[in-house]
Structure 1
Amino acid sequence: MSEKELISKKELLEMTGISYGQLYRWKRKQLIPEEWFIRKSTFTGQETFFPKELILPRIDKIVNMKDDLSLDELADKLSPFVFDHPMRKDELMKRNIVSRVVMNRFGEKDPDNTVYSFEQILAFYTVDQLLLSGAMSLDEGELLLQTLKEHGEKFEGRACELVFIRKMGVPVFALAASPAEMYFESGTKVVAKAALTDYIEQLKLKLA
């Protein structure tokens, strides 16, 4: 991750107007993932930095929601590690949480009363989001589902980033601890990068 993508703790507090105490209280409540607190050596000693594109939207969301919800309620909505909400296949489609295109392709053999776990719903939702962005085909969605099924549980309790690349037209999906620093050989196209914690937050709000 380059320096341009990081923001120091001092800059963050000044930019957002929050206090040191609030920042670390939100960290204890898992409103801000531990992985986003990045310790780096500087000429003044050790300082804490954050991934700018992740921390600023998160703090904005917390600030806008904290007057209506307690910190525990906020944690339940925002923390990706404290939620379990199974749902039936027909309800997922009825509420348009997962599109019929995805369910008809990847859940075709499952009867309408099939109950999916939150992890299964998240996998379908992730495929849906990349399809909607135009970044991925349905055939590639099958590869993505397999990747999430095989490796998703390895990131339980940790922030995770999905990386979708193509090399000479061949699709490859990778999961990495977030924030991730990744480099690819020339000729590799990064098609999409997404923080699964963002998808988890979106999905939790839809399922609630």
Structure 2
Amino acid sequence: MPLIALTGGIASGKSTIARRLAEHGAVIVDADQIVRDVQSPGSPVLERIAAEFGAGMLRPDGALDRAALGAVVFGDPEALARLNAIVHPAVATESHRRFAAAFEADRDAVVVYDVPLLAEARAGDRWDLVVVANAPVETRVRRLVALRGLSEPEARARIAAQADDDTRLALADVVIDTSGALDETIAQTDALWERLAGS
């Protein structure tokens, strides 16, 4: 019943690895989905975000205006720290609940926590293995521009708002190099699964 942390910077290919592990049978707990869930309309987290950053962070339907919030916090480390102080504890609580539920359903499950901000928020948690998806910054900038429509300055700001590569790699038990072709990433992920399934 290993609990695996899978992390990587934005546009590092982490989601590709998570999808492949899911195809093999891993239970994926998605931190980004948990963030969306704990920030749902009417939630205490969303109410605190609106109180901290203003009612302009809410859309007319009461949902979080992610673009408005992103415009406030990206590039402003102090504002980002205030946001993280609201969101991270709620995400940690909910993720632990989902880990427990997965192991209760199948005590032999391989549970993978797909978490972009491991180095920033969860490095001290107890993981059986930490897997880092890694690609050079310039590769990730190109992906963000080509695949997500960001400008180059926006892409660089998003990357700069996260932990640097050295900090992430220092946590790694396994590094998957995602800078090459997709089938190379898949092959490395398959090798990881063989290791996990045999543990």
**TM bucket by the smaller chain?**
under 0.3
What TM-score do you get using the length of structure 2 for normalisation? 0.24
Q: Which has the higher contact order (CA 8 A, sep 6+)?
A: 2
